[in-house]
């Protein structure tokens, strides 16, 4: 039986909930240039266009058809029933893990439903779209809130805690991530180096350079419930 699990999720776990990934066919990076909508420079250049990009994705979360899928539900079941420690680290900025019920959750790339004061860095829950009138309440004069999103070139959130958990876990599972963006892409190496069994779930074939011990080439909504059941039964390569 495992005692300490870290799960890393990427856009692929939310694909079956109807949210676009970044690098798949018709992904977000086919519609927008990263440098225009996911960098501090792009925001300085054209804040309105960047606000529209995030407002659209935030409002999409309120679409009744966008709900947690079986993979999100399985991770919530794992948190409820697993007797050891579990942390879900997500690169996703949607709220589907929370809505499924996970609480031991860390958004390392920020959250669509939050804004941040550019001066104090205070974080605010979003109640209206980003725009010139959506300002902080912590400064005088009030500052226009920016998306609470970690852009390229900015430091991901919670890295000290993530490293600490990766060094202590005995099972590391990556779900629906292309493993192309660091530091998340390097987590498997840290976990493996400290003795964890590493597994990944992806609809794509195993990358020839992959460091994962196990690879489940399946849709997340199919593979994750199966994996969670095996873990809870103690039958996933029981230690």
Structure tokens at 148: 């609470």
| Residue choice 7, 16, 87, 199 for contact with ligand APR (CB under 6 A) | 16
Q: Which residue is nearest to ligand APR (CB)?
A: 12
Question: Is residue 110 a contact residue for ligand APR (CB under 6 A)?
Answer: no
End-to-end CA distance of the chain: 6
Structure tokens at 60: 């999409």
Binding mask of the shown chain, residues 193 to 232, with x at each position contacting ligand APR by CB under 6 A: --------xxxx--------------xx------------
Pairing assessment for the beta strands 146-149 and 110-116 based on DSSP bridges? antiparallel
By beta-carbon proximity to ligand APR, the closer residue of 24 and 36 is 24
| Residue choice 22, 53, 172, 212 for contact with ligand APR (CB under 6 A) | 22
Q: How far is the CB of 118 from ligand APR (least distance, A)?
A: 20
Q: Please give the backbone phi and psi of residue 140, each rounded to the nearest 5 degrees, phi first.
A: -130, 115
Q: Catalytic: which of 109, 127, 163, 193?
A: 109
Count of residues engaged in binding ligand APR, rule: CB under 6 A:
23
Clarify whether 107 is annotated catalytic: no
Binding mask of the shown chain, residues 157 to 176, with x at each position contacting ligand APR by CB under 6 A: -------------------x
Structure tokens at 76: 């919530």
| Residue choice 58, 74, 78, 91 for contact with ligand APR (CB under 6 A) | 91
Question: Is residue 112 a contact residue for ligand APR (CB under 6 A)?
Answer: no
Alpha helix ranges (H) inside 32-158: 34-37, 40-45, 47-60, 70-81, 96-100
Q: Under 8 Å CB-to-CB from 40, ≥6 apart: which residues? A: 151, 153, 154
CA 130, 136, 137, 142 dihedral sign is: negative
Residues annotated as catalytic (active site), given as ranges: 109
């Amino acid at each position: 039986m495992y005692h300490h699990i870290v799960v890393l999720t990427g856009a692929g776990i939310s694909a079956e909930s109807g949210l676009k990934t970044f690098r798949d066919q018709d992904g977000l990076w086919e519609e927008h240039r990263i440098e225009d909508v996911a960098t501090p420079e792009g925001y300085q250049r054209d804040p309105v266009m960047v606000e529209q990009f995030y407002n659209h994705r935030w409002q999409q979360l309120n679409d009744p058809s966008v709900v947690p899928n079986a993979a999100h539900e399985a991770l919530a079941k794992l948190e409820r029933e697993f007797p050891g420690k579990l942390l879900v680290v997500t690169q996703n900025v949607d709220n589907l893990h929370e809505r499924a019920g996970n609480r031991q959750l860390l958004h390392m790339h920020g959250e669509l439903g939050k804004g941040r004061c550019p001066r104090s860095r205070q974080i605010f829950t979003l109640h209206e779209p980003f725009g010139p009138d959506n300002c902080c309440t912590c400064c005088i004069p009030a500052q226009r809130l920016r998306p609470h999103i970690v852009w390229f070139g900015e430091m991901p959130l919670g890295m000290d805690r993530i490293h600490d958990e990766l060094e202590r876990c005995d099972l590391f599972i990556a779900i629906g991530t292309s493993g192309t963006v660091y530091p998340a892409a390097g987590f498997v190496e840290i976990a493996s180096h400290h003795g964890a069994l590493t597994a990944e779930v992806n609809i794509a074939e195993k990358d020839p350079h992959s460091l994962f011990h196990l690879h489940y080439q399946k849709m997340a909504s199919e593979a994750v419930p199966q994996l969670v059941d095996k873990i809870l039964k103690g039958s996933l390569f029981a230690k």
